[in-house]
A and B are shown apart, each in its own frame.
Chain A
Amino acid sequence: MNTFQKASIMTISAVIGASALSAAVTMVPALAKTKAIHHDAATIQLQETGSTLLYPLFQLWVPAYSKVAPGVQITPAGTGSGTGIQQATDGTVQIGASDAYMNNQLIAQNPGMLNIPLAISAQQIMYNIPGLSNKTVHLHLTGNVLAEIYTGKVRYWNDPQIARLNKGIRLPHAAIVPIHRLDGSGDTFLFTTLLTDTNKNWANTVSYNTSVSWPNVPGALGANGNNGVVQTAEATKYSVAYVGISWLDNGLKGGLGEAAVQNRAGRFLLPNNATISAAASAQVRKTPKNERMSLIYGPGANSYPIINYEYAIINKKQSSSAVATAVKDLLLWAISPNGGNKANFMTKVHFLPLPKSIAPLSRAQINEITG
C-alpha cells in the first residue's frame, strides 16, 4: 500500500468518524427501541430512562424492588429528561423520568401521557467570592437580582442592587461570571422558572425551559452537568452558579459559598429539610389533578423558593394488562413512605419524600394506567 492510498483511507475514515458522530447523535433514540418483553409467564421486564438526577434513585430502587416483586425486572438508564419524555411517549420505554413536567404542546399531542411526581428535589445558588466563605455569611440574593446578573445588567458584585440586600458586607468590585448549564437540564428549568417568576424582562425575553437562549453576558460560562458547573465555579473567581441539591456538599467542600434566596414572603432562606418540606406542603392544595405544576417561588413564610417535583412520565395505555399492572405496582411502591419514599433512599440522593397529602392525587393518576 503506497502512502497515497494510506492517506485516502485515513481521510475517508476521518469523514466517516465525523459524520458518524453526528449521525449517532440524531439516531440514538431511534436505535434504542425495545419493547417490554415477557420472558415467560413469571418475568416482566420494564425499561426506565431519562433524568440523570433520578437515575441514582432508580439504581437504589431496583435491587430493593426485586425483593418486593421478584417477577419484575427493571432496567434503568440515565439519558436526560427530554429523552425520558420522548421515549416514554413513543413507547420505547415504559417509564420515563424527568425533572420537568411535559409542556402543554407535548400533552396536546400526546393526551395519554401522565406526569406522576415521585419525590421532591431542590436547588441552591452558589458563588465563588474569595474572602466570603460560608463561615462568616451567606450572601442574600433574589430571583430578580439573579435575572439582572444573568442578563448582564448587574455586572459587579458591589452593584447597589446586591449591596442593598447585603448591608454590612464588604463586596468586591469584581466582574460577576455567571455560569449556566449548557446541556439540557432540570436545573436550568428550575432556575429559569424562578427568574421568570421574579423578573418581567426575563419572562418576556428568555423565559424558562430545560435549556434557554442565554443573554450575551461577556465572560459568562456554560458548563456540562452539575459536576461541570461545580468544577467551573471552583476554578473561576467571582462566579455564580445554580447547582442541584445533591451537589451541595461537593460545592461547599470546594470552597463555594451558598446563597440565601428570597422567597415569595420576602425572607432569605437556605435549602434544608425544613424549608423544602414547608415549600412542598404549602403547595399541595394548589396542585392540579394532572400534577403538572411548578413549585418554584411558592407561598409560605418558611418555604425555600427553588424546589420541584421529580416526575415519572407514563403512557396511560401500556402494551398489555400484565405490563400495566407491573408499572402500577412499581409506582405505588415508589411513592409509598414505606416503599421507595423511605428516608434511607431519599437521603442518599438528597431528595425529600412527597408530602403525605399529595399521595391521593398521584394514586389517582397511577390508577388510570391500563393494559
Chain B
Amino acid sequence: MGIARLRSKIFQVAAGIAAVSPLFVLLFVAVVLLKDALPAFRYQGFSFYTGLTWNMGNAYANNVVVHNGVQAAPGATFGILPFIVGTLASSLIAIVIGVPISLLSAFALVYKVPPRLAKWISPMVELLAGIPSVVYGLWGVIVLAPVIANQVGPWLAKLGSVIPFLGGSIGSGFGLLTSGIVLAVMIIPIITATSRDLLAQVPKLPIEGARALGMTSYESMRHVALPLAKRGIIGAIILGWSRALGETMAVLMVSGNASNYLPTNLYSPISTMASTIAALLDSAMNDATSLSIHALALIAVTLLVITMLTNLLARLLVQVGRRDIGTEG
C-alpha cells in the first residue's frame, strides 16, 4: 500500500470516529446520568415534575426514612416544577427579546454597514460572545436590576390591567424579567455572529432581484434572504436557546433564586434547573443517603431531555415551514 493510500485510509478512519463521537458522548452522558438519577425517580415518582417543594430533608436527623425501597433524609421531597417553569420562562423571554435584535444586527452587518466599518464591528460581536457569564451577571446585579425595579417595572406594571402577568408587585428587580434580559444580552452575540455568517453566504442574485423589483432592503431581507438562510438561522436560534437553558452563573446572580413557588408575575424571583444543580451540589453531599445527589442528577436528565425536545421542536417547525412553501391561496 502506498503512502498516499495509507494516509487516505487513516483519514477515513479518523473522520469516521470523529463523525460518530458526538453520538457516543451523548449516549455516555445520558446513560451515566440516568443510572445516577433512577433512585430519585423511584422515590418521588411523577410528582418530581409536578411538585412545588424542593427539600433535601434533615441531614442532621438521627434517622432515615424509606420510601419505595429508597432511603432518604426525613422530610425529603423533590418537586422541580418551579425550576422547570423558571428555566423555560426566562429562556423564552431571552429568545423573544434577543432574536429580533440579533437578526436585525446580523442583517445590518451584512447589508447596511459599510464593509470598512463592518470589518471593525464584526469581531466585536465575537468578543461579546466570549465574555464570561459572571460579567453579564454582575452587570445584571449592579445596573439592570435597579433599573427594572425603579423604572421599567413600574412602567410595565401600568399595563397590568390589560395583561395580568405584567401587573402586581415589582419587588427588588431580581427575578424573571431581569434573568430574561441578561440571558438575551448573552445570546444576542451568539445568534448575531452565526446569522451574520449565514446571511453573508446567501447568494446575492435573488436579493438583487428583489431590490430591482422595487422592494425595500427590509422587504428583501424578510422575504428573500431570510427564507434562504432560514434553516441555518433556526439552528443559530437553537444554539442561543440552548445557551439560555443551560446558563448557570449569570442566572444565579440575578434570578432571585426563589424556590418552592411558581412565579406570579413578570418580576417574581425564579430559579432555573442549571443554577439549582450548581447551587445545591455541595449541600447534597451532606445527605448520607445520597438521594439528594440522585435528585440533582434527575434534574440534569430533565434538562438534557428539555434541550433535546426544543431542538426537535425547532427542527419540526423548519420541516413544516418547508412543506408549506406557498402562501397564496
Q: Hey, which bits of chain A sit against chain B, CB under 8 A?
A: 3-4, 6-8, 10-23, 25-27, 29, 79-83, 85-86, 100, 103-106, 108-109, 177, 182-185, 207-216, 218-224, 228, 231-232, 235-237, 239
Q: Is B44 close to A, CB under 8 A?
A: no
Residues of B within 8 Å of A26, CB to CB, are 32-33, 36, 277, 281, 293, 296-297, 300
Residues of A within 8 Å of B284, CB to CB, are 82, 184
Instruction: Please encode chain B, from 13 to 37, with 1 for each CB lying within 8 Å of some chain A CB and 0 for all others.
Output: 0000000001001100110110010
Q: How far is the CB of B51 from chain A (nearest CB, A)?
A: 11
Sample of 5 more A-B contacts, CB < 8 Å, known A209-B283, A215-B260: A85-B286, A182-B279, A184-B279, A213-B56, A216-B261
Q: How far is the CB of B307 from chain A (nearest CB, A)?
A: 4
Interface of A: prevailing SS:
helix
Complexed CA–CA distance, A100 and B283 (Å): 11
Residues of A within 8 Å of B60, CB to CB, are 103-104, 207-209
Interchain CB contact under 8 A, A213 and B259: yes
Which of A14, A108, A224, A235 meets B307, CB within 8 Å? A14
Which of A25, A208, A221, A237 meets B300, CB within 8 Å? A25
Interchain CB contact under 8 A, B297 and A10: no
Complexed CA–CA distance, A221 and B259 (Å): 9
Residues of B within 8 Å of A239, CB to CB, are 172
Interchain CB contact under 8 A, A22 and B231: no
Interchain CB contact under 8 A, A236 and B308: no
Q: Is B62 close to A, CB under 8 A?
A: yes
Q: Is B239 close to A, CB under 8 A?
A: yes
User: Would A207 and B252 be within 8 Å (CB), given that A105-B288, A213-B55, A231-B141 are in contact?
Assistant: no
Q: Is B176 close to A, CB under 8 A?
A: no
Q: How far is the CB of B37 from chain A (nearest CB, A)?
A: 9
A-B contact count (CB 8 A): 234
Stretch of B105-113, B120-128, B218-226, B240-248 with 4 or more beta carbons under 8 angstroms from chain A: B240-248
Q: How far is the CB of B209 from chain A (nearest CB, A)?
A: 20
Q: How far is the CB of B274 from chain A (nearest CB, A)?
A: 6
Residues of A within 8 Å of B141, CB to CB, are 231-232, 235
Complexed CA–CA distance, A81 and B281 (Å): 11
Q: Is B41 close to A, CB under 8 A?
A: no
Complexed CA–CA distance, A216 and B54 (Å): 11
Q: How far is the CB of A109 from chain B (nearest CB, A)?
A: 6
Complexed CA–CA distance, A120 and B209 (Å): 77
Q: Is B285 close to A, CB under 8 A?
A: yes
Interchain CB contact under 8 A, B172 and A19: no
Which of B53, B172, B231 is packed against the most chain A CB atoms within 10 Å?
Answer: B172
Q: How far is the CB of A243 from chain B (nearest CB, A)?
A: 16
User: Would A22 and B172 be within 8 Å (CB), given that A15-B242, A80-B282, A105-B288 are in contact?
Assistant: no
Q: How far is the CB of A16 from chain B (nearest CB, A)?
A: 6
Residues of A within 8 Å of B285, CB to CB, are 29, 82-83, 85-86
Residues of B within 8 Å of A14, CB to CB, are 238-239, 242-243, 307, 311
Q: How far is the CB of A51 from chain B (nearest CB, A)?
A: 10
Interchain CB contact under 8 A, B286 and A222: no
Q: How far is the CB of B25 from chain A (nearest CB, A)?
A: 6
- In the complex, the 4 A-B pairs of residues with the closest C-beta atoms, listed nearest first: A7-B235, A222-B257, A184-B283, A22-B300
Instruction: Please encode chain B, from 116 to 160, with 1 for each CB lying within 8 Å of some chain A CB and 0 for all others.
Output: 000000000000000000000000011001100000000000000
